[in-house]
Structures are given as C-alpha cells and as structure tokens.
Amino acid sequence: MSIEVGVWSAIVEASKPLALDPAAPIRITNVALGHELQDPNARTTLKLVYQTLVPVDDDEEAEESEAPLAATVLCSLTPGKIEHAILNIVLEEKEEYVLDIEGPNTLHLTGNYIDLKPTDMSPYGSEMDSDEEDFDLNEVSSDVEMDPNDIDDEARFEEIDEAIHGSPKNLKRARDSEAGEAGKTAKKQKGQDGKAAKPESEGAAGGEKKEKKEKKEKKKDVEGKTEKQAPKEREIAGGIKIKDTKIGTGPAVKKGANVSMRYIGKLNNASGKQFDQNTKGKPFSFRLGQGEVIKGWDEGIVGMQVGGERVLTIPSAMGYGKKGTDGIPGNSTLHFEVKLVSFK
C-alpha cells in the first residue's frame, strides 16, 4: 500500500538524458507530448535505464560490485495518433535512474511522491505509536451489541457448563437411601416449636428447583436478546458480503471522505491465516472511493458510522485478483474485521 504525498513532474528533451536520484519514492503516472512539436510526424520513444538486482545465494554474501545496467521502453508517442500514455511505475529512493528519449519531440512526465508502507505490514497500514485508544477486534463476540449490564457473566458460564456436563454435583438430588436416613434423623430432632424438623433434602430440593428456574429464565432472556440482535449478512455489488456486528453513531460515511480505520485481515479459507492488522497505534487512513485501497474496501466501508464494526468477505476480483500480493495468494477471498474510528 502507498499514499500520495506530493506532485512530481519532469521534462525530457531530445539528446538530453535526464538523470534521477530520488530523495523519496516516485510513481510516474503519465507521459505526454509537449505543446510545441519539433517534428509533427515523428514518433518519440521514452526509455528507462536502471540498475538490476544482484541475485544472492542463501549461503553466500553479495559481492561488492555495481549491479549491471538495463534499459526498457516505457512508451512510444506519435503526434495525431497517440499523444500521451498512462504508466504506473515506481522509482525507488536513493537509486540511480536515467530517462532518455529516441526521437525529436520533448516529453512531459507527471506523477507523485509516495509514502511506501513496510512490506511486512502492508497492504493497509502501520503500527506507528500514537495516543489513539487501542482497539482489539479479537474481543468482538456474539454479545457485542448487548448491554453489559444485562449479562451476568458468572451465571452465563455456569449455564454453559451445566448444559454440557449436567447439573453441578452439589445440586444433585440425594439417593433414596440417603433421603430416608435424613428423614429418620429429622424425625428424631425437634425444632424450637416442638415439631419435627423437615428433612434437609426437602429444603435442598426446593432451593434447587428455584435456582434452576431462575437460571433457565435468565438464559432464555439472554438467548432471546442475542437471537433478536444477531447481525444479518448481506451482499452488495461485486459479490462483497457485509455483516454489521456493531452499529455506530452519527452520519454514515460516503465516498470522498477521509476515513480512519482499525482492521484485521485474514484469508477466507481453511487456514484462516492472518496477513495484516491495525489494532493499535495510529489508525490506517485513506480517502474512501478514490482507488487508494482495494475495491472491496472502497465499496464495503460505505455506509458505516463512527464506532461501527463490520465483517467484510471480499472475493478475489474485488481484492488482489489472480496475481495476489505479498502474503496473499492469487484468487484469494479475503476476510476483514473493520472498525470506523473517525472520518471527515
């Protein structure tokens, strides 16, 4: 992932090669003929001369020698036929390049300086330190939309344990022989009013029934709320699937807004491998709907509100396509858990 940080331009004239040693990465996006033509019928070709990478064996260190030079053609322009070309080539910082032309006409190059994110954290953001509140998407659960005051965590876990393993041992009814012995003992004992005391098992059974009833009602109430508020998945254009696990507040975000996001990205396959995240530090920011991120994000984040959380299932055509990228194989369906921190 890269972020545009400034406009860059250059002019290359015939027989005047242009040497470049960028102080920051440059992306060349357009090449066009000048408004004044030296020859209105001649074709002009733009070439790039650069140093190739030196292959290094696993067990050997690279030799201290200059990498060989290579040249490639970026485009050829002819007045009246093809007068400009769209490119997408990045010149890295602190590397030496030469732009040269064959032909009589002057060429104008346009692009922008870019901020490249580290490849081990791409394609969406970084883990820069910030005063922003940390956010852990792993904490999202099925209770995400429920009022915490409505849930008794201790009782809820007891109910789960009871449903799996049966009633706790101390709530089991006494065996008939044990109940009989307790009854006999109680008959021998008298209360303060002179009447025989009730067997302990009788009082325990009443308390057991009452406690079970209360837990059953509480469990039913929690399950009813969860089922009622369970998020529904919907599909939008491009095959993108959306599930809102938490609705935010305020206006809905639209294309063109600058958004700040938290997210966790995983492969939507059996491995479920996580390939990227931004859960703390500085949120990842970009302009929505402007092609700065994959199409699945440009379309799938529209309509979110601040504080809202959403699960996006993005098909490969709206992600990285057939080629894939670092850590993401080609034709991969992507799974993102995202949170809208803010937008303007």
Catalytic residues: 263, 275-276, 294, 320, 336
**208: Cα within 13 Å, side-chain hemisphere:** 14
Q: How far apart are the C-alpha atoms of 87 and 72, rounded to whole Å?
A: 13
Question: How far out from the chain centre does Cα 252 lie?
Answer: 19
What one-character DSSP code corresponds to residue 79?
Answer: T
Q: Which of 291, 300, 308 is nearest to 256 (CA)?
A: 291
Q: Using H for helix, E for strand and C for coil, what is the string for 51-67?
A: ECCCCCCCCCCCCCCCC
123 CB contacts (<8 Å, ≥6 apart)? 1, 117, 276, 293, 294, 325, 326, 328
Q: Judging by DSSP bridges, how do beta strands 107-116 and 274-278 pair with one another?
A: unpaired
Residue 230 vs residues 81, 225, 283, 287: alpha-carbon distances, Å? 59, 8, 28, 31
**How crowded is residue 211: how many other Cβ atoms within 10 Å of its Cβ?**
12
